[in-house]
Structure 1
Amino acid sequence: MNIDVFRKKKQQLTIFALAIIGITLLSSNLTDFDFMHSLISVPEALKWMGSNLFITNEALEKMPSIMDKLMETIFLSIAATTTASIIALLLALLGSQTTKVNNFFSTLSRFIASLFRNIPIVAWALILLLSFGQNALTGYFALFLSTLGFLVRAFTETIDETSKSSVEALQATGATYFQVVAKAVIPECSPQIISWILFMIETNIRSSTLIGILTGTGIGFAFDLYYKNMNYSVVSLITLSIIAVVIMIELISNYVRRVIL
């Protein structure tokens, strides 16, 4: 019996592997992608990067303006994440099976989370560009809507994992809905909620760089501007600055998570 199960699983794995290989070959053929040519091009690409992507004294003179744009990107990401987290928490309380008011609001909350989460942030930016144009407001709303969808789902699952015994104990004493949320749900969920907020700040700083290219704001705009002018030394400086900031934010977030969890 065990041999038959093993053979069946082996056949399924073989079929799956062949399907993946077939899809890969088909995709490569349709897109004219040559894997061998790509491998051969790697040494030339590294050589070009070594001869062009180096930081000069002239590029370092641009550092103050680069830092201004970088701080604009960071603050925009933090603002979008924090405001979205407040609304996401309210929707999550309505959507969670533990704290839902009724089935209608629970379904509505989960629908909003699914809709906003499944539309890519770039798509949000392109949609909003038609209404708001190229400005920081477009970038803010794109980050806000994408973050809202993700956090509603994350917060809802976090609240669902709350110990139901403490909730039922408060309800048995005649506590109101808001008292149950404030005394039982929020205190237990707050470490995980803070962790999700920090994670989204990290993610949005990365995403806002791309959004800035579309909206003409922040560090993404500076990168696009110097890249189109073929000023690769400044582009290299901007890239390293972004990497340094992302690593720094991640280290801070990891430290905070270790403290609160």
Structure 2
Amino acid sequence: MQDRFFLRKRLNTSLYCALLFLITMAAIIITQYDMVKGFTSIPKAAEWAVSNFYPNARAMTRLPNILDSLMETLLVSIAATTVAAIFAFFFAILGSTTTGVGGVFSLLSRWIATLFRNIDVAAWSMILLISFGQSVMTGYFALFFGSFGFLTRAFMESIDEVSNSSVEALRATGASYFSIIVHSVIPSSIPQLISWILFMIETNIRQATLIGILTGTGVGFLFSLYYKSLNYSSASLVVIAIIAVIFIIEAVSNYVRRVIL
């Protein structure tokens, strides 16, 4: 019996690997991708990056402008995430199986969260470009909508996982709905909610750079401007500044998680 189980498991693994291989080969044939040329071009690309993609003295004179744009991108990311978290919390309360009011409100809350979560931030940027054009508001609302959908779903799962037993205990004592939210749901789930918010801020800082290329704002626009003008030294300085900020934000968020969890 045990041998049959492991045999079936190995057979399933072999079938999955074979299917993945067939899909990969079909994609290579359809796109006419030259694997040999692709692998042999890696050393040349690395050599070009080492010889061209590094900041020089002239690029360092642009560092204040890069830092200003980077600060703008950082603040927009934090603002979009925090405001989205406030809306997401109320929608999560309505859509949660533990605290939801049920009926059409819970169904509508879950449907809205699913809709906003499944539309990528880049798609939101292109949609909003029609209304707001290339401006900071376009990037802000794109990050807001994407964060709202993701955080609503994450908050729902956190509330259902952490608050179930305490909510049932308060209901047994006859506590009101708002008392349950204030005295049970918020205190028991707030560490997880803050952790999700910090994670979303880290993600949005990365995404805001790409959105800036589309919306013509922030540090992403500077990178696109320098790169298209063949100013690779300044473009590399933008990349280094972004990586440094991401590491700093991640270190701070990890410290906060260790404190609150």
TM-score range, shorter chain: over 0.9
1:110 & 1:163 partners in 2: Cα distance? 18
1:32 & 1:228 partners in 2: Cα distance? 28
After superposition, give the CA deviation of every residue in 1:79-116 in whole Å (9 maximum; x if it has no partner).
00000000000000001111011221111111111111
Match of 2:209 in 1: 209
- Are residues 1:165 and 2:165 paired? yes
Does the residue aligned with 1:161 lie in a helix, a strand or coil? Answer: helix
Query: How do 1:93-132 residues align onto structure 2 when only pairs under 5 Å count?
Result: 93-132=93-132
- Are residues 1:233 and 2:233 paired? yes
1:257 CA displacement: 0.2
- Are residues 1:255 and 2:255 paired? yes
Amino acid in structure 2 at the alignment position of 1:245: V
1:178 CA displacement: 1.0
Match of 2:178 in 1: 178
Q: Report if the CA contact (8 A) 2:98-2:163 is conserved.
A: no
Amino acid in structure 2 at the alignment position of 1:88: A
Query: How do 1:6-21 residues align onto structure 2 when only pairs under 5 Å count?
Result: 6-21=6-21
How many corresponding residue pairs? Answer: 261
Match of 1:246 in 2: 246
Q: CA RMSD in A?
A: 1.0
Match of 2:73 in 1: 73
Match of 1:43 in 2: 43
1:59 CA displacement: 0.3
Match of 1:200 in 2: 200
1:251 CA displacement: 0.3
Unaligned 5+ segments in structure 2 are none
2:50 & 2:22 partners in 1: Cα distance? 37
Amino acid in structure 2 at the alignment position of 1:152: T
1:174 & 1:260 partners in 2: Cα distance? 30
List 4+ stretches of structure 1 deviating above 4 A: none
2:4 & 2:169 partners in 1: Cα distance? 51
Q: Report if the CA contact (8 A) 2:73-2:209 is conserved.
A: yes
TM-score (norm 2): 0.97
Q: Report if the CA contact (8 A) 2:163-2:189 is conserved.
A: no
After superposition, give the CA deviation of every residue in 1:213-258 in whole Å (9 maximum; x if it has no partner).
0000000000000000000000010000000000000000000000
1:58 & 1:39 partners in 2: Cα distance? 34
Q: State percent identity of aligned pairs.
A: 55
Unaligned 5+ segments in structure 1 are none
Worse-matched range after superposition: 165-174 or 114-123: 165-174
TM-score (norm 1): 0.97
2:227 & 2:192 partners in 1: Cα distance? 40
Amino acid in structure 2 at the alignment position of 1:157: E
1:39 CA displacement: 1.2
1:173 CA displacement: 3.2
1:165 CA displacement: 3.3
Match of 2:53 in 1: 53
2:136 & 2:98 partners in 1: Cα distance? 38
Match of 2:92 in 1: 92
